[in-house]
């Protein structure tokens, strides 16, 4: 008897494609960890910034909040001194440009409003200082919102010294027109 080798072929078992579920789960976990890490870092940086702002103001309020509180109190108890309109030539070199502006000054004590209105020397000095400030500006300085804010702050800092009682709280523009 001869031995014959018979090869038995095993039927091929189809292989499953590799599962994508573990890869998707890994991506989701990485995205969550990344988002959580970003949130923690953002919270830390914002908290640190807020603590610095509180330290600067001394009472735990940021400068913006402090100003809003001051203006809100002035609205309740204070008053506004409306100045006559200003029409000035701006400092533009290329062409003649004009600014028409109405300014009102908010004070913290409305009972003193009559005294301010009757004080012609104060009124004239305020107009003089404001006119000097306005005529140094160009239309490019004033056309942007930032430029208007800067002008408001500059006027306030220059005339605040003339107000002891009542205190000057804010400078408001009630009309602002630039002829271009």
Determine, yes or no, domain membership for 95: yes
Claim to verify: residue 141 and residue 106 sit in the same structural domain: yes
Same domain for 92 and 114: yes
Residue 147 has pLDDT above 60, yes or no: yes
**Candidate ranges 31-45, 58-72, 102-116, 144-158; pick with highest mean pLDDT:** 144-158
90 pLDDT above the threshold of 70: yes
Residue 141 pLDDT exceeds 70: yes
pLDDT, residue 12, reads: 66
Which residues, in sequence order, are CB contacts of 72 under 8 Å at separation 6+? none
C-alpha–C-alpha distance, residues 137 and 28, integer Å: 57
pLDDT of residue 68: 63
Query: 175: domain range?
Result: 71-179
In whole angstroms, what is the distance from residue 36 CA to residue 98 CA?
Answer: 55
Domain-embedded: residue 6? no
* pLDDT of amino acid 2: 58
Chain mean pLDDT for the chain: 79
* Residue 125 belongs to a domain: yes
Q: What is the pLDDT of residues 5-23, one digit of tens each?
A: 666 666 666 666 667 777 8
Same domain, 160 and 107: yes
- Measured CA to CA, the distance from residue 143 to residue 115 in angstroms comes to 35
27 occurs within a structural domain: yes
Q: What is the pLDDT of residue 18?
A: 67
d(CA 172, CA 77): 17
Position 9 in a domain: no
CATH code for the domain in which residue 85 is found: 3.30.479.30
A 10 A CB-CB count for 147 gives: 15
């Amino acid at each position: 008897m001869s031995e014959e080798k018979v090869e038995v072929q095993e039927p091929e078992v189809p292989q499953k494609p590799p599962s994508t579920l573990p890869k998707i789960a890994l991506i989701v976990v990485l995205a969550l960890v990344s988002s959580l890490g970003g949130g923690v870092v953002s919270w830390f940086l914002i908290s640190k910034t807020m603590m610095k702002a509180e330290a600067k103001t001394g009472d735990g309020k940021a400068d913006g909040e402090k100003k809003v509180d001051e203006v809100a109190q002035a609205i309740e108890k204070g008053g506004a001194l409306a100045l006559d309109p200003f029409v000035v030539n701006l400092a533009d070199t290329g062409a003649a440009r004009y600014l028409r502006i109405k300014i009102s000054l908010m004070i913290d004590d409305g009972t003193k409003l009559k005294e301010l209105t009757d004080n012609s020397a104060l009124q004239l000095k305020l107009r003089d200082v404001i006119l000097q400030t306005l005529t140094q500006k160009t239309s490019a300085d004033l056309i942007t919102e930032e430029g208007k804010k800067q002008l408001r702050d500059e006027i306030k800092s220059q005339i605040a010294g003339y107000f002891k009682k009542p205190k000057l709280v804010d400078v408001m523009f009630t009309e602002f027109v630039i002829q271009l």
